[in-house]
Amino acid sequence: MNWKHLTFYTRNWQIYLWPQIVYGHWTYLNKDPGRIEVMDYMHTARSVEDRLLSYRKDESGWKTCKKTNDVVVYWRPSCEFAGYVYKGEGIVNGSPEKVWDCLKPEINGLRVKWDANIKKFELLEQVSADVSVCRTVTPSAAMGIISPRDFVDVISIKRYEDGTVSSNATNVSHPNCPPQPGYVRGFNHPCGCFCVPVPGEPGKTQLFSFFQTDLGGLLPRSVVDSFFPTSMVEFYSNLTKAVKSLK
């Protein structure tokens, strides 16, 4: 065999293999599993950035499902799982810097204080300056019908030349965080938000948000379908109040 190497992807792993057959099995080119994990998380992070940007640019197929003074919520069938992807679009009274301060995913940050859907946020691994693997714990919801959940995601932060900042996330596995007792493990498919400066209005921010979550468990479809639009309206309302409270 004269091949130099072979690369393949599985759902949670990107693995480089050396084309040497030993007892009928492929052997690893790089035997450092930590390095393989980092390569996978970085690849997944960059992929979800591209996916979220495509959601923002693609206007086709969205249907309005809820509307308030703060936000318009849209939905369309997901290509990732048997559910929906939800898009929120609204103008927040606050500079992009203040809005981002409230949204950025960081340990002991402001997000846990105002977002009713986040009970705990834990760092599992800092992959690079702008990529991390985190666990998010959510409280019970819908009058207790939805029990507490936890999610393990790779999260990336991306800044654009026009001043836009985005947070991009999707589910991964991590060796230090198997399913936990007392929580249903949910799965976030590509999701996140874009804080976009409003030209000529430095005190305002256009916020696009995307939610695409498999809550897991045996929940009635009607509960899930009503929960997310209502939750997103609450998200924008609470964010507006949090930004206003900043000095």
pLDDT (tens digit per residue) in 173-206: 999 999 999 999 999 999 999 999 999 999 999 9
Return the pLDDT at 35.
67
3-state SS track over 13-46? CEEEEEEEEECCEEEECCCCHHHHHHHHHHHHHH
Q: Confidence band (pLDDT; 50, 70, 90) for 87?
A: very high
pLDDT surpasses 60 at 4:
no
Q: Which two tokens stand for residue 243?
A: 């930004």
pLDDT for 15 equals 39
Mean pLDDT (the chain, rounded): 88
Tokens in use for 180?
């936990």
Is the pLDDT at 38 greater than 90? The verdict is: no
For residue 186, what pLDDT is reported? 97
Decide if pLDDT at 223 tops 80. Answer: yes
pLDDT digits (tens, 9 = 90+) for 8-33: 444 444 333 333 322 232 333 344 56
Cβ(83)–Cβ(212) below 8 Å = yes
The CB density around residue 92, as the number of other CB atoms within 10 Å, is 25
Q: What is the pLDDT of residue 3?
A: 38
7 pLDDT above the threshold of 60: no
Q: What is the pLDDT of residue 9?
A: 40
Instruction: Indicate the pTM of the whole model.
Output: 0.84
Give the contacts of 169 (CB within 8 A, at least 6 positions apart). 48, 105, 153, 154, 155, 156, 188, 190, 191, 192
Q: Could you tell me the two tokens for 244?
A: 């206003």
Q: How many residues does the chain have?
A: 247
Per-residue DSSP letters for 148-174? -EEEEEEEEEEE-TTS-EEEEEEE---
